[in-house]
Amino acid sequence: MKSIVVIGGGVGGYVAAIRAAQLGAKVTLIEKNNIGGTCLNEGCIPTKVLLHTAQLYSELLAGAQYGLKVNGDISVDWQSLQKRKADVIKQLVGGIKILLQYNKIEVINGTAKINSAKSVSITKPNGEIQRIDTDNIIIAAGSEPFIPPIPGVDSEGVINSSEALSLDEIPKSITIVGGGVIGVEFAHLFNILGAEVSVVEMMPDILPRIDSEVVTLMRAHLENKNIKIYTGAKVESIRRNGSMLDVKIETKDGSLMLKSQKVLMAVGRRGRLEGLNTEAVGIKTERNNIVVDDNMETNVPGIYAIGDITGKNMLAHVASEQGIIAAQNIMGIKDKMDYKVIPSCIYTNPEIASVGMTEEEAKSKGIDYKKGIFPLTANGKSIICNETSGFVKIIADSKYGEILGVHIIGPRATDMIGEAALAIKLEATVDELISTIHAHPTVSESIKEAALSVKNEAIHNVNA
């Protein structure tokens, strides 16, 4: 029986462990903190718990628009919300532990150090060191927030994304450094909860790599909610000033001083290499990430790496797929990771979801393409939900109509993107989307209408 040691019990690690066990391997999973890793414990899941409550709160405040009468004040019970967040995490983590037990995976709590391609040492919480010999190793050690070297970044009140999830109370004001997915989601969250929010982003616009038309609409939405956004801006320093923090930023128009109760650093994450002993073992790394091939194997035969630590695409669903690919290759099923079809989701309101090429990418590659856009103001379900600020956009090859990219901003976007991902994976054409009957009334009807728009044949919209 082949033996495998998996270092890290996050979404990549536990999925790799389960798949390897299904294929007959003897698997040992090493996790130094909590099973489920960043995603379940201090990332994807807890963030969405808070965002879901924030959205319900927002809708109740606007209850009259839905024909509701609300007697009395509506407020967010932050401590109860924190308890709900903990309960959701506990339920999901508990389910994973049951799956690990069912698949006869040994779980060891401790910190792993790689001795060689065939040996790992584990330092347990009590200081005991255990050595395990193994046939293969899968590194799934995850990532940690990147903190840039800004003067004053260690000041009291400067927090990272993990700490932002468990604050003692909702801040009255917050400056968010970084306008990527994490920064924008937190900006949306704290704005709904009543905080004054400012976002500082070095790039020319927020949400880099998202389709520009989607970004334009999202930025307008955020600014309409009185979120202040400074793009092409750099934080020069952070200084504690009584109960507040002074954040000095440099913009194209000169220097500004922002004042807020908290500062959230959301400028990205980097691979967690510390303590793994990669250099001594000879594992190649670049910019704090482990280099892997499409089989997820490192330059050291028998050692694989998956998830955030590879720096390929720091998304939970990518880590899970990489884990499956690594496990299958170790167990003799030759498989390669395909990065062409990776959905990206942003859980704001409206939601954003995209897969495949953006229009900008199609232009830069010289592809002859057509696009179709269907506005949600013409979609019945969106009108019912009172969420018409958005659209579905399809990028398609001009010659064959093959779908190259789909970009959605609106309700249910993160749920609908699966259809688009499957379409691109199967090299579907707009004609095949058009000939697929979509249920009514649904927001997903808009995908068919956007496909029709590519051919200037939209039924529920005026064709240009």
Last residue of a domain, one of 224, 247, 267: 267
Q: In this predicted structure, what is the pLDDT of residue 64?
A: 87
Domain match, 7 and 141 both: yes
Q: In this predicted structure, what is the pLDDT of residue 69?
A: 87
Last residue of a domain, one of 278, 297, 330: 330
Q: In this predicted structure, what is the pLDDT of residue 379?
A: 96
Domain match, 139 and 7 both: yes
- Put the strands of the sheet holding 129-133 in their side by side order: 111-116, 119-123, 129-133
Domain match, 86 and 120 both: yes
Whether 31 and 8 have beta carbons less than 8 Å apart is answered as: yes
Q: With respect to residue 152, please indicate whether it lies within any of the assigned structural domains.
A: no
Q: In this predicted structure, what is the pLDDT of residue 463?
A: 83
Q: In this predicted structure, what is the pLDDT of residue 71?
A: 82
Domain match, 260 and 278 both: no
Q: Which two tokens stand for residue 94?
A: 């508990």
Whether 398 and 370 have beta carbons less than 8 Å apart is answered as: yes
Q: With respect to residue 462, please indicate whether it lies within any of the assigned structural domains.
A: no
Domain match, 400 and 308 both: no
Q: In this predicted structure, what is the pLDDT of residue 462?
A: 85
Tens-digit pLDDT string for the chain (464 aa): 999 999 999 999 999 999 999 999 999 999 999 999 989 998 999 999 999 999 999 999 888 888 988 887 889 999 999 999 999 999 999 999 999 999 999 999 999 999 999 999 999 999 999 999 999 999 999 998 888 999 999 999 999 999 999 999 999 999 999 999 999 999 999 999 999 999 999 999 999 989 999 999 999 999 999 999 999 999 999 999 999 999 999 998 899 999 999 999 999 899 999 999 999 999 999 988 999 999 999 999 999 999 999 999 999 999 999 999 999 999 999 999 999 999 999 999 999 999 999 999 999 999 999 999 999 999 999 999 999 999 999 999 999 999 999 999 999 999 999 999 999 999 999 999 999 999 999 999 999 999 999 999 999 998 87
Q: Known catalytic residues? A: 440
Residue identified by tokens 């899970």 is: 320
Domain match, 138 and 285 both: yes
Domain match, 7 and 52 both: yes
Q: With respect to residue 227, please indicate whether it lies within any of the assigned structural domains.
A: yes
Q: Give the residues across from 250 on adjacent strands.
A: 234, 255
Q: In this predicted structure, what is the pLDDT of residue 153?
A: 95
Domain match, 27 and 162 both: no
Phi, psi of 67 (to 5 degrees): 80, 25
Q: In this predicted structure, what is the pLDDT of residue 8?
A: 97
Residue identified by tokens 């903990």 is: 86
Domain with 443 in it:
344-454
How many structural domains compose the chain?
3
Domain match, 227 and 80 both: no
Q: Give the residues across from 269 on adjacent strands.
A: 145
Whether 231 and 201 have beta carbons less than 8 Å apart is answered as: yes
Domain match, 109 and 208 both: no
CA distance 322 to 10: 12
Q: With respect to residue 459, please indicate whether it lies within any of the assigned structural domains.
A: no
Q: With respect to residue 91, please indicate whether it lies within any of the assigned structural domains.
A: yes
CATH code of residue 229: 3.50.50.60
Domain match, 185 and 263 both: yes
Residue identified by tokens 């630590």 is: 309
Q: Which two tokens stand for residue 323?
A: 């884990």
CATH code of residue 407: 3.30.390.30
Residue identified by tokens 């293969």 is: 136
pLDDT tens for residues 64-99?
Answer: 888 988 887 889 999 999 999 999 999 999 999 999
Domain match, 89 and 202 both: no
- Region of residue 194 (left: phi > 0; alpha: psi -120 to 50; beta: else): left
Q: With respect to residue 394, please indicate whether it lies within any of the assigned structural domains.
A: yes
Q: With respect to residue 464, please indicate whether it lies within any of the assigned structural domains.
A: no
